[in-house]
Amino acid sequence: MTSPATLSAARTATDPTAWSARLWGMLITLCIVLFLDGLDVSMIGVALPSIGSELDLSTSTLQWLVSGYILGYGGLLLLGGRTADLLGRRKVFLIALAVFAVASLLGGLVSSGPLLILTRFIKGLAAAFTAPTGLSIITTNFAEGPARNKALSIYTVFGAGGYSMGLLFGGLMTGVGWRWTFLLPVPIAVAALVAGYFLVPKDEAAEEGGHDILGALLSTGAMLLLVYTVVTAPEVGWLSARSIGSFVVAVALFVAFVAVEKRVRYPLIRLGILRKASLVRASIAIVAVAGSYFSWQFIVTLYMQESLGWSPLKLAMALLPVGLMVVGSAFFSDKLVDRFGTGPIIAVTLVVMAVGYVLFLRLDDHPSYLTMLLPAVLLIGIGWVGFPAINIQATNGIEDEEQGLAAGVLQTSMQVGAAIVLAVTTAIVTSGAHTDTSPAGMLDAYRPGLVFAGVVAAVGALVALLAFVPKFRGRATEAREPEIALAG
């Protein structure tokens, strides 16, 4: 008689996507943590008015509740991915998740603006370690091909779902009390921490390697300063001495970082990895998707709530189809990748997303949801369906010991790139004197920002489409040859 264990092993051998219960448990645990990371980026926006009213915080102070998280998240992603590769992925993941849970709890208890901002910054720091580490745990536990494609599709759908469902959860939690937007993640993070302790397999620290302390300081300083500058530039002026000086210092730090990485024995980032065309294209695509969507969401939130008087929950329900499409794509995105490859999916979804932004330009001060808003929302949501393909494209062909690094590069591109796109959008919307505060007048002020979001998505689609042009495809092939020599 054949035992159940033998049958299970036989099924796994013939079907690489037939996973054990423990492997499924590990994947779901990692997915939940990534969902919390994405949720924390977008959920806080709905609660800002309530927080400002209760704690008597100015608008400029409130924006740091969003920017503080981005500063921590975007500034330390590269270090987070490399630390996981060096010290052990399981150890780094569990420690960072514990810090995230504690910071969330403190954020729901404090009643001081600066302390609230500090907890947001610490949560961003923790997410900078959990996000790339979780991705590298998956890519090192699932073989490249159908199994990894399926795992990454499910994983990244949860991440995209966190970003796209943030408004809904923010609206629900703010209705109860703004502190619940901080407290909601606590029990979920604690449960994930316990599950991760038992389900994430132990791994050894790298046998060879060292800590590039100087490179870490330079890269982190450059990222933090760059994000800080683009976040504050709309307020102090893009051409002010402060903004220009900060940009110059950020560039100088980046130049110094590159010089150090070329000379240090154990670099924080092997510069040769940036020659991998697929990673570069994926990084541009993820900036296009996240940057355009966050800009669009920012404008829609302001216009619908402040100009049209929509409640946070009504707005959340209006944008709910985006989240539902993202969640639904978990059932077929890996099959699309297996059949068509990552490139076509990324190109098509970005083109459709750009069309959605164009359709949204029809918005007026008495919008019909079914005929005007819903078609655009559905097309924009399709852009997130391509999100798993972007992550798969970025990590395919990367050695196991550099999976955390590749994940860090991709996530850094997303956070820093999206912050830059959003800052430019804000500058476009707020430039000039807008004396007409009627819904029609405010829409005129917001429309250039909507156009810019569409342009960003279109540029991302163009870069993805260029991979199918023989001339550029040949260059991409040539670009991979020196990397093989470096690796050897």
CA distance 228 to 247: 10
The number of beta carbons lying within 10 Å of the beta carbon of residue 160 is: 33
Cβ proximity of 259 and 442 under 8 Å? no
Long-range CB contacts for residues 316-321, cutoff 8 Å, separation at least 24: 316/46, 316/167, 316/168, 316/170, 316/171, 316/172, 317/168, 317/171, 318/369, 318/373, 318/377, 319/164, 319/167, 319/168, 319/377, 320/168, 321/374, 321/377, 321/378, 321/381
Identify the pLDDT of residue 405: 75
Identify the pLDDT of residue 3: 40
Nearest alpha carbon to residue 269 among 86, 144, 90, 137: 86
CA distance 185 to 386: 27
How crowded is the C-beta side of 44, counted as CA atoms within 13 Å? 28
**Each residue of 214-271: pLDDT tens digit?**
887 888 788 778 877 877 787 788 889 999 999 999 999 999 998 998 888 877 777 7
Cβ proximity of 428 and 448 under 8 Å? yes
Identify the pLDDT of residue 196: 95
CA distance 459 to 417: 13
Q: Which residues contact 161 (CB under 8 A, 6 or more apart)?
A: 35, 38, 323, 326, 327
Cβ proximity of 222 and 414 under 8 Å? no
Report, as ranges of residue numbers, the positions in the chain whose pLDDT lies below 50: 1-13, 474-488
Radius of gyration of the chain (CA): 22
CA distance 419 to 287: 9
Identify the pLDDT of residue 190: 96
Helix (H) or strand (E) segment spanning residue 425: helix 403-430
